[in-house]
Amino acid sequence: MQRLSAGIAILIIGAVAASGAWAQAPSTGPSTELRTGSGPGWPARTVRLVVPFPPGGPTDTFSRATAAEIAKSLGQQVIVENRPGAGTTIGADLVAKAAPDGHTLLFTDLSTHTITASLYTRLPYHPLRDFAPVAPVNSSPLLLVAHPSVGARTVREAIAVAKRHPGITIGNSGIGTVTHMAAEKFAMRAGIKTTAVNYKGGATPVIALLGGEVDLVMATVPASIQHVQKGKLVALGVAAARRSPYLPDIPAIAETLKDVEGAVIAGVLAPAGTPRGVVERLNAEFARASAAPRVKELYAVNAAEALTMTPAELQAALERDVKAWAVVVEATGVKLQ
């Protein structure tokens, strides 16, 4: 079974959390067609995919590609609605409070979603209880990159430089994002002192790195790989347990330093209480969409591997990730309101 992220080393397939997401609808609730996700009951209108990121990023791109595919078989429009801001919590809150009828879904980075559970002292929703897990879509590992002036071409060399120069700067795409927490985990495991520089968006820290504003960046592959290929940046390693099949020449950080994993994990959540049949139908639709040739090609360009899990497996994986990232958040002392 594929790994989902740093916190999901082993999937534990168990009961879904008592969120009401899988409860059978009472006789006064949705129709049989809505409960089973078949027939004319669902979808009855346009399906919204709420993306808590600005347009143009990898999560947004993946959402639009899969939306186009699932619309073909659902017989309804599937539109993408960008609701960025507040570390993905604005879009997540909108979906958490939406009607649980399968017409409003959250298409997000599941890593960042699980980090918010311990990062924020107060959230208007619970990242697990207020959502029904639908499906993971794909996983793209983060890439640790360096400016050539740092003088490091491997993870081991970068650690040596950092030990000689405590406080070496490492950029990320936003405070509390998976790029931030993965960078903090790297520093913890390596026993080095770094200075986090928080930017906004995946491309911004890479642009800063190109300009020599920071020494290292824990980057997304789409934002950084073209600059590595042109020789403008140095790829030190992918934040994964193994090399990416799409980037076989770049070592995994795990080849030098264990347990430094982080990935942008595109996935879909529905409001808690969404009928089980609708969730299962959506799970199958997103798996089918990921197998479409055009979508597979898009994944490959972004070094993203398709993921398939049942909703129950995904629930267990999310629960594990919430616990694993909480350890990192606590170690950093970072808290947001």
Reported as a pLDDT band with limits 50, 70 and 90, residue 272 is: very high
Whole-angstrom CA distances from 241 to 138, 162, 304, 306 are 16, 22, 15, 17
- Domain 143-255 falls in which CATH fold? D-Maltodextrin-Binding Protein; domain 2 (3.40.190)
Per the prediction, the chain carries an average pLDDT of 89
> What architecture does CATH give domain 32-141+264-332?
3-Layer(aba) Sandwich (3.40)
Structure-model confidence comparison of residues 190 and 38, the more confident one: 190
For the stretch 192-208, pLDDT in tens is 999 999 998 888 999 99
pTM of the model: 0.84
Lowest mean pLDDT among 15-19, 88-92, 94-98: 15-19
Lowest mean pLDDT among 27-36, 103-112, 230-239, 250-259: 27-36
Distance separating alpha carbons of residues 184 and 119, to the nearest angstrom: 14
Residue spans per domain, the chain: 32-141+264-332, 143-255
The kind and range of the H/E element at 258 are none
- Let me know: does 181 contact 322? Beta carbons within 8 Å: no
Within this chain, domains 32-141+264-332 and 143-255 share the same CATH topology: yes
Neighbours of 148 (CB within 10 A): 12
Pair of tokens at residue 119: 């990062």
Instruction: Please check the confidence at residue 23 and state whether its pLDDT lies above 80.
Output: no
Burial 116-135 (b: 16+ CB within 10 A, else e): bbbbbeebebebbebbbbbb
- Tell me which residue of 99, 133, 127, 132 sits closest to 113, measured CA to CA: 127
